[in-house]
């Protein structure tokens, strides 16, 4: 008995929304340049490009299927579809008093009116696919758009709200990789249904791996392990592992897949993200015992799958030099999460910034079990100019949407770091997005400073002579940040090297303490400390000197310092 072909989940969503009469115009976005499974009624599965999948999918119920992009012009599944298309369009044009088509046009501005003749004909059962739609209605300011682009944009807006199209048995599908590349006047049309095509999940990757040709391929990991470790990649990229292994004779192993995966994703994101592979954990972090215990509980919850105990996001806040980045990377190692850092995703071209962000978030969502670090969040999430055409507000809105999605809990953890939390959108910092706000301060006691000095020595493999007393160095470095304490240890190591010693002696430490000058911008440091106090989500995370301060007292002192520093752009 023949069965209906098995289709990807997103095609079922499109089908149901179309049959329910919600829309006759759809915008597919996301993983549209991949291959997709088409399982025949006899159980045979083939992996086909998006165009072929849509032609097969739509050809089951439509008499005419038309495919168009600005490079290839009109394309059809076969000659019969082309013949029915030309007949239908010319018949409509004769009724309208227009001349019949001798040749099919190629430019989008000439193609759009021809397609409109087809899709508004109630006697037809047709489907139109406009691929690379961002080249037909690109994102841009109206004042800088050419007349042809404006005409195309208005036409697609009209189609989205045309009752004749909605009441007909015709269908329009727009296809783009990045939603933000398409003009927002089109994407904002209420009658345009957007359907996201996701990266393949574990079941899809497993099925694909099982069907790959293994001839002349040596595998050091099994199928399920390969499927798991390739999270965040599409099927074309996974197929590339087999082709590469066959050509290079290099086995497919955890190491080769991991290295290649990082390279692929960094290239896919055009340098927008950086993979971080921490070489240290909390044992290399000096002091901060309470903080390490709190973050250790979060790491345990992640590793044991207790997602309800995992925060959606974490904010590290405090003056520069307090070890925020170092602790963040150590936390990544403790939790086992893949650590990715945002790089500069902002560009001057309209729509490019939003497109870059969408690409990053799509990869993060596909990878899963990711610690996404945004360093200097006050700069990364704010525009560089006074007027950015609304880009910054759209970036913040997209981040709010992504980090409010509870399906990410336990899979994607946002970790923002800043010394100026007052410059970050308040709504982005609320619980449900940033559940834990961790304050960082300079080491408060000689014991904490000694712990930092000892941790630096361990991390940097610095040897201490028997007479090197860290207690003395810790006592003499009041007001030093963790970064400045590290500078002391490095300076002491250099002093020892100048005397051809492999170990740091007491005199080297004393020389380094006298030489390294701590920050003298005490007013700005106090301002940043008070901001950390103000943002902290837990009183027990604060040093004793701040624990009894009320919010009003902190606010008054912040206002006083802000006035004193007003000339510095606060």
- Residues 80-92: pLDDT tens digits? 999 999 999 999 9
- Whether 413 has a pLDDT exceeding 60, the answer reads yes
β-sheet bridge partners, residue 196: 29
- Per-residue pLDDT reduced to its tens digit, 286-295: 777 788 888 8
- Which of 188-202, 341-355, 427-441, 463-477 is least confident? 341-355
User: Which of 500, 509, 319, 323 is closest to 418 using CA atoms?
Assistant: 319
Mean per-residue pLDDT, 504-519: 85
Residue 545: the pLDDT is: 86
> Residue 269, Cα to own-chain centre: how many angstroms?
9
- Per-residue pLDDT reduced to its tens digit, 521-546: 778 888 888 898 888 888 888 888 88
First-to-last alpha carbon distance for the chain, in angstroms, is 74
Residue 312 near residue 411 (C-beta atoms within 8 A) = no
Residue 283: the pLDDT is: 78
Mean per-residue pLDDT, 476-483: 86
β-sheet bridge partners, residue 68: 74, 130
Mean per-residue pLDDT, 411-432: 86
Residue 65: the pLDDT is: 95
- Whether 5 has a pLDDT exceeding 70, the answer reads no
Cα distance between residue 34 and residue 236, in whole Å = 6
pTM of the model: 0.70
Domains of the chain: 9-197 (3.40.50.300), 202-268 (1.10.8), 275-439 (3.40.50.300), 445-570 (1.10.8.60)
* Long-range contacts formed by 419-424: CB under 8 A, 24+ apart: 419/317, 419/318, 419/319, 419/320, 419/378, 419/528, 419/531, 420/378, 420/528, 420/531, 421/315, 421/317, 421/378, 421/531, 421/532, 421/534, 421/535, 422/531, 423/378, 423/382, 424/377, 424/378, 424/381, 424/382
Residue 171 near residue 19 (C-beta atoms within 8 A) = no
Residue appearing with tokens 């492999």: 502
Mean per-residue pLDDT, 199-216: 88
- Whether 130 has a pLDDT exceeding 90, the answer reads yes
Mean per-residue pLDDT, 547-566: 85
- Whether 62 has a pLDDT exceeding 50, the answer reads yes
Residue 1: the pLDDT is: 42
Mean per-residue pLDDT, 308-318: 88
Say which residues have a Cβ less than 8 Å from residue 502's Cβ, sequence separation at least 6: 463, 496
Residue appearing with tokens 């630096």: 456
Which of the four pLDDT bands, split at 50, 70 and 90, describes residue 110? very high
Q: 173 is written with which tokens?
A: 């599908």
- Whether 384 has a pLDDT exceeding 60, the answer reads no
Which of the four pLDDT bands, split at 50, 70 and 90, describes residue 348? low
Distances (CA, A) of 517 to 482, 487, 507, 520: 13, 10, 17, 8
Edge-to-edge strands, sheet with 25-30: 73-75, 64-69, 126-130, 171-176, 25-30, 192-197
**Whole-number mean pLDDT of the chain?**
84
Residue 185 near residue 153 (C-beta atoms within 8 A) = yes
- Whether 331 has a pLDDT exceeding 60, the answer reads yes
Say which residues have a Cβ less than 8 Å from residue 13's Cβ, sequence separation at least 6: 195
- Per-residue pLDDT reduced to its tens digit, 390-402: 677 777 888 888 8
Mind spelling out the 3-state secondary structure of 47-115?
EEEHHHHHHHHHHCCCCEEEEEECCCEEECCCHHHHHHHHHHHHHHHHHCCCCCCCCCCCCHHHHHHHH
- Whether 386 has a pLDDT exceeding 50, the answer reads no
- Per-residue pLDDT reduced to its tens digit, 137-195: 998 777 778 888 889 999 999 888 887 787 788 999 999 998 888 888 898 887 889 99
């Amino acid at each position: 008995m023949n069965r209906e072909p098995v289709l990807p989940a997103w095609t079922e969503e499109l089908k149901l929304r179309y049959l329910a009469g919600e829309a006759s115009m759809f915008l597919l976005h996301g993983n549209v340049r991949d291959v997709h499974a088409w399982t025949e009624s006899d159980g045979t599965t083939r992996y086909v490009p998006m165009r072929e999948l849509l032609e097969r999918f739509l050809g089951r119920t439509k008499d005419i299927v038309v495919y168009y992009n600005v490079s290839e012009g009109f394309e059809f599944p076969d000659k019969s579809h082309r013949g029915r298309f030309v007949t239908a369009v010319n018949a409509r044009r004769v009724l309208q008093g227009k001349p019949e088509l001798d040749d099919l046009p190629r430019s989008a501005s000439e193609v759009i009116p021809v397609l409109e003749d087809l899709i508004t004909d109630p006697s037809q059962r047709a489907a139109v696919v406009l691929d690379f739609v961002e080249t037909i209605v690109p994102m841009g300011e109206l004042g800088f758009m050419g007349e042809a682009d404006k005409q195309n944009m208005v036409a697609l807006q009209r189609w989205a709200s045309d009752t004749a199209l909605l009441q007909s048995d015709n269908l329009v599908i727009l296809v783009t990789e990045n939603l933000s590349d398409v003009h927002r006047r089109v994407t904002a049309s209420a009658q345009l249904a957007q359907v996201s095509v996701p990266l393949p999940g574990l079941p899809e990757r497993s099925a694909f791996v099982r069907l790959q040709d293994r001839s002349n391929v040596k595998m050091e990991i099994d199928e399920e392990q390969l499927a798991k470790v390739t999270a965040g990649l599409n099927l074309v990229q996974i197929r590339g592992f087999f082709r590469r292994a066959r050509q290079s004779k290099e086995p497919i192993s955890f190491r080769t897949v991991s290295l290649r995966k990082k390279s692929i994703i960094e290239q896919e994101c055009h340098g927008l993200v950086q993979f971080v592979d921490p070489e240290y954990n909390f044992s290399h972090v000096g002091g901060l015992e309470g903080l390490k215990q709190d973050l250790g509980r979060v790491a345990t919850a992640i590793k044991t799958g207790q997602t309800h105990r995992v925060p959606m996001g974490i904010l590290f806040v405090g003056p520069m030099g307090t070890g925020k980045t170092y602790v963040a990377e150590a936390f990544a190692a403790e939790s086992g999460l893949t650590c990715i850092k945002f790089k500069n995703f902002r560009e001057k071209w309209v729509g490019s910034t939003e497109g870059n962000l969408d690409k990053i978030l799509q990869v993060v969502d596909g990878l899963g079990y990711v610690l996404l670090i945004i360093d200097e969040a006050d700069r990364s999430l704010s525009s560089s100019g006074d007027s950015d055409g609304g880009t910054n507000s759209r970036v913040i809105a997209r981040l709010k949407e992504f980090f409010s999605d509870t399906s990410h809990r336990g899979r994607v953890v946002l970790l923002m770091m800043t010394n100026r939390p007052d410059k970050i959108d308040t709504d982005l910092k609320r619980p449900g997005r940033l559940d834990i706000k961790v304050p960082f301060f300079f080491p408060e006691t000689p014991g904490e400073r000694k712990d930092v000095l000892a941790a630096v020595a361990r991390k940097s493999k610095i040897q201490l002579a028997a007479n090197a007393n860290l207690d003395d160095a810790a006592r003499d470095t009041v007001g030093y940040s963790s970064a400045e304490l590290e500078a002391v240890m490095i300076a002491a190591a250099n002093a020892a090297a100048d005397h051809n010693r492999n170990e740091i002696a007491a005199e080297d430490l004393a020389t380094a303490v006298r030489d390294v000058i701590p920050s003298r911008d005490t007013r700005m440091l106090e301002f940043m400390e008070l901001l950390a106090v103000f943002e902290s989500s837990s009183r027990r995370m604060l040093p004793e000197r701040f624990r009894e301060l009320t919010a009003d007292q902190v606010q008054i002192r912040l206002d006083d310092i802000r006035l004193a520093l007003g000339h510095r752009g606060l």
